[in-house]
Chains A and B, each alone.
Chain A
Amino acid sequence: MPLLELRNLYKSFGGLQAISNVSLTVEEGEIVSIIGPNGAGKSTLFNLITGVYKPDRGDIFFEGQRINGLSPDQVTKRGIARTFQNLRLFTHLTVLENVLIPQHHRLKSGWLGAVLRTPAYLREEEKMREVALEKLSFFGPRLMSFRLHQPVYVLSYANRRRTEMARAMATGAKLLLLDEPSAGMNPKETKEITQIIRRFRDEGGYTIVLVEHKMNLVGEISDRVVVLDYGEKIAEGNYHDVVNDPKVIEAYLGRREE
């Protein structure tokens, strides 16, 4: 059973067919990249999976269960977490708080228990803190010491991206949807993020779907590449086959006039 399965998805905005007849399966432990020119529907696909939009037609299955029609928070509870193309961190909260909030949905204590600080609540809080530190330690010591207690708005751009990934991991998801994880990073940081994404899979056991424009990052880590153009899937396969596919070249570069 595939971890994530999209069957014949359709989505239109008014007259614009943003996604048409896209099917895709993601097996557990895979890294799948979705590429395509601007406006190809990559982000729309993410929004459909995470429940921000409802598909017009078609079904989304996660671990064999149908998840289309669920709200974003319910989708996250099932085990899909995402990052955003333009960072959407809780800017005025500290790094630690940013990584604690995604664990809130697993809290069993009610609000009264939380106010009374019942032993059960305190245990859960302690557990949440441990998980948060564990997820942040994926990025080495740079977010660990005093940075934990600093508000996000003082962090550098790269550190914010790292915080956002740690936040997505902290939801307890199995599947991470990364929307341009290396946007705004310099080549060196891109290298580092490439290694980290691989470590997510190898050490963290996450399955990863990412949207990315930097081709050498895609080529380096993807098990499979899916190409979208005008909302349709035009190619799928390993990196080398896909980039040499004439349809893909046409989508990116256009056709030569005969």
Chain B
Amino acid sequence: MMRNHLLTLATVGLVTLGLYLLTQMDGTSGLLSALRLIFIWGIAAISLNLINGQLGILSLGHHGFMLVGGYVTALLMLPEKERRPFRTRLLSDWARDNLDLDKWLRGLGLDFIANSIDLKFIIALFIAGLAAALLGVLVGAPSLRLKGDYLAIVTFGFGEIIRLLPNAPEVAAFTNGPLGIKGIPGDAGTIWWTFFAFLFVLWFFTRLKFSSYGRAFEGIREDEIAAEAMGVNLAYHKVLAFTISAFFAGVAGGLYASYLQSVDTQTFNFFVTFFLLVAISLGGLGSITGAVIGTAVVVLVRNYGGFLEQPYPAWVGYLSGALLMLGAFAFSAYIRKTRRLRPVIETKHYIFGAIGLALLLVTVFFRNEPWMTQTVQFFGMRKILLAVILILIMIYRREGVMGRAEFSWKLIFGPREDIPSEEQRKQDAWLSNPELNPGASETKEDDDASA
């Protein structure tokens, strides 16, 4: 127990140190922004995972909550001069001029907070979360009585309504309409606040998952009827999970808005939810670790997959295709040779390998032909790569990389409580085997018992 806590602390310390060193080095801005995106989308993915993974409800409205968080943070943090160009119609200029955290804080005489952009940012994020959570209650309370596909459609509808609202002239005083809000101060959005928010989210959701409430959520996922019959109040727990999830979606939205330093209705379109769904299905629905892994894979492919879309001579494509096929053949041949049951490599595998080899030979022989040396470029290879990863995961490991499991030190160093020791195994066999244990049940065998 103690050892595991120390290990966790040491890991967090090491990661923090590594991050600090990264910020001090030159030429790491690309990596740092990738990390920031992983943290931001990680928060959003973990919060979506609470509904879709732990509660087992398909919700497609997450981008709406993120958008609310983004706009609220933007509006609260926006400096005076950036507000001037806002068009206002029905709502007066008052809204535009007074929805300003800076003014509120100074009005309360808390100048020392107003002078620190970091503290202001935290407060703005918190308020953004609260606004999203309020919306979560409003959306969740009426719609969560629905189930399955119906709920998915309703949440999707609500998400889109929320997304399109900022365009309406009636709310343009707050949102500046389709033009969006630009010039959100970015200096509070350094990697540190994102990192700390991410750590907090990890801590919060892990604690929640391994509490009585987390168990109740998972009970609802496993069997709603049984959970209700066992005294779990379905409506309360669903709305609770929805609200918590919306709160952290709002926080993630605020962080993203401050990362981009601008926000408009296209920032949080449906593809945001779609992207998060891909991330959590890849990592494993219901697993916090999985949500982080999935997000990391998706962000890294998107940020560093650029080399796939560069122009190359055609032979590079043929060569990599051939090598991939040969590699796949070698891998499957190895797997099939080592397996215990029927270690056979089938004809189709040889055919596949032969095609790969033929392709390799073609590439080598015709390497100077014009159709081999012409330059080709494939746009969208990153998305194809993501799609292929997703397909492979769905075929070979449908529950995602982590399944429902979490990373824990116990998993690595033990002791594993669910695996019986030799002694326990013997005792168990003794209990369930009547020949070894004739006295287990005092009554004799009675074949008529089920008459």
Q: Point out residues on A near B: beta carbons under 8 Å.
A: 50, 52, 71-73, 76-77, 81-82, 84, 88-94, 97, 100-107, 109, 111, 114-117, 121, 124-125, 128, 140-142, 145-151, 156, 167-168, 171, 186-188, 190-192, 214-217
Q: Report Cα–Cα, A228/B230, bound state, in Å.
A: 27
Residue among A71, A93, A140 with the highest chain B CB neighbour number at 10 A: A93
Q: Report Cα–Cα, A138/B205, bound state, in Å.
A: 34
CB distance from B97 to the nearest CB of A (A): 36
- Asked whether B451 lies within 8 Å of A94 as measured between CB atoms, the reply is no
Residue among A81, A88, A89 with the highest chain B CB neighbour number at 10 A: A88
Q: Is B310 an interface residue (CB 8 A)?
A: no
Which residues of B406-451 have CB atoms within 8 Å of chain A's CB atoms? Answer: 417-421, 424, 427-428, 431-432, 434, 441, 443, 445-451
- For the complex of A and B, 3 pairs with smallest distance between CB atoms: A187-B449, A105-B231, A90-B222
Q: Is B213 an interface residue (CB 8 A)?
A: yes
- Asked whether B223 lies within 8 Å of A90 as measured between CB atoms, the reply is yes
Q: Report Cα–Cα, A111/B214, bound state, in Å.
A: 9
- A141-B431, A142-B431, A146-B420 given as contacts; is B445 within 8 A of A101 (CB)? no
User: How many residues of B are counted as interface, with CB atoms below 8 angstroms from the partner's CB atoms?
Assistant: 45
- Asked whether A76 lies within 8 Å of B213 as measured between CB atoms, the reply is no
Q: Is B100 an interface residue (CB 8 A)?
A: no
Other than the known A104-B216, A114-B212, A141-B427, what 10 A-B pairs have Cβ atoms closer than 8 Å?
Answer: A76-B230, A81-B229, A89-B223, A90-B226, A93-B215, A104-B219, A141-B431, A146-B428, A188-B434, A190-B450
CB distance from B84 to the nearest CB of A (A): 41
Which residues of B192-242 have CB atoms within 8 Å of chain A's CB atoms? Answer: 204, 207-208, 211-213, 215-216, 218-219, 222-223, 225-234, 240
Chosen A-B contacts, 26 in total, with CB atoms closer than 8 Å, are A88-B223, A91-B223, A92-B222, A93-B215, A97-B218, A100-B215, A101-B227, A101-B232, A104-B212, A104-B213, A105-B231, A105-B233, A106-B231, A111-B244, A115-B208, A115-B213, A121-B211, A121-B212, A125-B211, A146-B428, A149-B417, A167-B230, A187-B445, A188-B434, A214-B449, A216-B449
- A50-B229, A72-B229, A114-B213 given as contacts; is B219 within 8 A of A192 (CB)? no
- Asked whether A101 lies within 8 Å of B215 as measured between CB atoms, the reply is yes
Q: Is B404 an interface residue (CB 8 A)?
A: yes
A100 contact from B212, B223, B225, Cβ within 8 A = B212
Residue among A72, A77, A92, A141 with the highest chain B CB neighbour number at 10 A: A72
CB distance from B206 to the nearest CB of A (A): 9
- Asked whether A188 lies within 8 Å of B445 as measured between CB atoms, the reply is yes
Which residues of B227-263 have CB atoms within 8 Å of chain A's CB atoms? Answer: 227-234, 240, 244
Total CB contacts across the A-B interface at under 8 A: 154
- Asked whether A142 lies within 8 Å of B428 as measured between CB atoms, the reply is yes
- Asked whether A73 lies within 8 Å of B432 as measured between CB atoms, the reply is no
Q: Report Cα–Cα, A92/B428, bound state, in Å.
A: 22
Q: Cβ of B218: which chain A residues have Cβ within 8 Å of it?
A: 90, 92-93, 97
Chain B at the A interface: mostly helix, strand, loop or mixed?
helix
- Asked whether B418 lies within 8 Å of A94 as measured between CB atoms, the reply is yes
- A114-B211, A125-B212, A150-B418 given as contacts; is B231 within 8 A of A77 (CB)? yes
Residue among B211, B432, B445, B451 with the highest chain A CB neighbour number at 10 A: B211
- Asked whether B212 lies within 8 Å of A107 as measured between CB atoms, the reply is yes
CB distance from B151 to the nearest CB of A (A): 19
- Asked whether A90 lies within 8 Å of B449 as measured between CB atoms, the reply is no
- Asked whether B230 lies within 8 Å of A102 as measured between CB atoms, the reply is yes
Q: Report Cα–Cα, A33/B258, bound state, in Å.
A: 66
Q: Cβ of B222: which chain A residues have Cβ within 8 Å of it?
A: 89-93
Q: Cβ of A72: which chain B residues have Cβ within 8 Å of it?
A: 225, 228-229
Closest to B434 in A: A188
CB distance from A201 to the nearest CB of B (A): 19
Closest to B449 in A: A187
- Asked whether A90 lies within 8 Å of B219 as measured between CB atoms, the reply is yes
Q: Cβ of B215: which chain A residues have Cβ within 8 Å of it?
A: 93, 97, 100-101, 104
Q: Report Cα–Cα, A164/B423, bound state, in Å.
A: 27
- Asked whether B420 lies within 8 Å of A145 as measured between CB atoms, the reply is yes
Q: Report Cα–Cα, A69/B208, bound state, in Å.
A: 32
B204 contact from A50, A71, A105, A115, Cβ within 8 A = A115
B443 contact from A88, A121, A140, A191, Cβ within 8 A = A191
Q: Cβ of A76: which chain B residues have Cβ within 8 Å of it?
A: 229-231
CB distance from A159 to the nearest CB of B (A): 9
Q: Cβ of B207: which chain A residues have Cβ within 8 Å of it?
A: 114-117
CB distance from B192 to the nearest CB of A (A): 23
Q: Cβ of A145: which chain B residues have Cβ within 8 Å of it?
A: 420, 424, 427-428
Closest to B229 in A: A72
Q: Report Cα–Cα, A52/B229, bound state, in Å.
A: 9
- Asked whether A73 lies within 8 Å of B211 as measured between CB atoms, the reply is no
Q: Cβ of B445: which chain A residues have Cβ within 8 Å of it?
A: 187-188
CB distance from B169 to the nearest CB of A (A): 40
